[in-house]
Amino acid sequence: MNPVRTIDTALIGLGNVNRNFLRILEMKEAELAQRYGLAFRVVCVADSSGVAVNPAGFDPAATRQAKEAGHPVRTLPGFVAGASPAEVLATLACDLVLEASPVDLTTGEPGLGVTRATLARGIPVVLANKGPLVLAYRELHDLAASTGAGLAFSATVCGALPVINIGRRDLIAAEIQSLRGIFNATTNFILAEMATGRSYADALAEAQRRGIAETDPTLDVEGWDTANKLVIVANSVLGIDAALADVSVTGITGVTAEHLEAEEASGSTIKLLASAERRGDGYALVVKPTVVASDSFLGQCNGWEMGIEIQSDLYGRMYHKIWEREPLPTAAAMLRDAVNLLRG
């Protein structure tokens, strides 16, 4: 058996994703020790009420259950009054930070400050939050390179589908000529409902009723969540310095049930696609509702599924797809990133 290394871990955000990370620690403690020689000790947690620190480690099950029972972090022993997560992480003794707070495309906070403070100290960061990467991809990578800290974010695009890992690790020496993907399950669900004749408003209400769509669904239905993911793929996989302003974005609010029904009648359907097409030295980056054949790979990505097809000069045409209906796989993607970073 491997000697077991204790990894002092900070969880920023205790919502769906990081609570599922705690659940995985409860489920997989023995496997993580036996297979990877790792024991994750949660020494810091943060939510919108503040930050708490316990060098001896918070119990994963008790912490998750307390949060699920409605007790915010400020009620935990070790609550640090008046401090932001970035301020605490500037000095906290820890080995790893998992950042899963909400996307903020204006300031990037609290994720951006957390990521900067942690990478600056040479401590690895795993992100589920896209905001810091969309706003400051190059800066964060340069910072990580200068301090030797690992930075991983495979959970930011298509949940647990390892799009980023495949693109960065497995397409050695390839030139990607084009990629097209369905990166947002909420809009995919709404379009699928509309294809059965429901109106946009009805389909959106159904998605909200099922808890898939946010109360404010703007980021999803206007295409910005998909565009965020395309920016991350463009920087990390295509190797270009791209920002949101470089993406032409059209959401699904203009698609009608009549459009969809007409396409379905002729063997096609409409999907909200992200695409990158090689143009000279760069790529044209587009997010828009697109007609695809119903029996094509992307036409067959339905409801809870997300997928991507990648055409490159060396590796043919690849197709990858995931079915993901709850945040457990996304939390597992953060664990995957953490283990890979810690194994070096």
Among all residues, which ones are annotated catalytic? Answer: 229
Q: Is 219 in the site for ligand NAP (CB under 6 A)?
A: no
Q: Which of 2, 34, 48, 266 is in the footprint of ligand NAP by CB under 6 A?
A: 48
Residues 298 to 337: which contact ligand NAP by CB under 6 A?
A: 327, 330
**Cβ proximity to ligand NAP, 211 vs 280, nearer residue:** 211
Binding residues for ligand NAP, total number by CB under 6 A:
24
Q: Is 47 in the site for ligand NAP (CB under 6 A)?
A: yes
Least distance CB 219 / ligand NAP (angstroms): 9
* Burial of residue 74, with CB atoms counted within 10 A of its CB: 0-12 exposed, 13-18 middle, 19 or more buried: middle
- Alpha carbon distance 170, 320 (integer Å): 13
Asked if 44 and 94 touch (Cβ cutoff 8 Å), the reply is yes
> Mapping DSSP to helix (H, G, I), strand (E, B) and coil, where does residue 309 land?
strand
**Cβ proximity to ligand NAP, 15 vs 282, nearer residue:** 15
Q: Is 188 in the site for ligand NAP (CB under 6 A)?
A: no
Q: Is 17 in the site for ligand NAP (CB under 6 A)?
A: yes
Asked if 319 and 133 touch (Cβ cutoff 8 Å), the reply is no
Q: Which of 11, 32, 100, 322 is in the footprint of ligand NAP by CB under 6 A?
A: 100
Taking CA atoms, 144 is separated from 45, 60, 95, 123, 344, in Å, by 23, 29, 14, 9, 14
Least distance CB 301 / ligand NAP (angstroms): 17
Q: Is 102 in the site for ligand NAP (CB under 6 A)?
A: yes
Q: Are strands 79-80 and 176-182 parallel, antiparallel or unpaired?
A: unpaired
Tokens of 191: 């379009």
Q: Is 13 in the site for ligand NAP (CB under 6 A)?
A: yes
What proportions of the chain, in percent to the nearest 5, are helix, strand and coil?
A: 40, 25, 35
Q: Is 227 in the site for ligand NAP (CB under 6 A)?
A: no
Residues whose CB falls within 8 Å of the CB of residue 91, separated by 6 or more in sequence, listed in order: none
Q: Which of 108, 124, 150, 159 is in the footprint of ligand NAP by CB under 6 A?
A: 159
Task: Give the H or E element holding residue 40.
Answer: strand 38-47
Residues 69 to 98: which contact ligand NAP by CB under 6 A?
A: 72, 85
Least distance CB 22 / ligand NAP (angstroms): 12
Least distance CB 248 / ligand NAP (angstroms): 22
Instruction: Identify the bridge partners of residue 274 per DSSP, sorted by sequence position.
Output: 181, 287
CA count, 13 A, side-chain hemisphere, 85: 28
Least distance CB 280 / ligand NAP (angstroms): 32
Candidate ranges 21-29, 57-65, 151-159, 163-171; the one touching ligand NAP (CB under 6 A): 151-159
Q: Is 108 in the site for ligand NAP (CB under 6 A)?
A: no
**Cβ proximity to ligand NAP, 131 vs 299, nearer residue:** 131
> Shortest CA distance to 229 belongs to which of 155, 289, 321?
155
> Shortest CA distance to 260 belongs to which of 200, 321, 182?
200
Which residues lie near ligand NAP (CB under 6 A)? 12-17, 46-49, 72, 85, 100-103, 110, 128-129, 155-156, 159, 327, 330
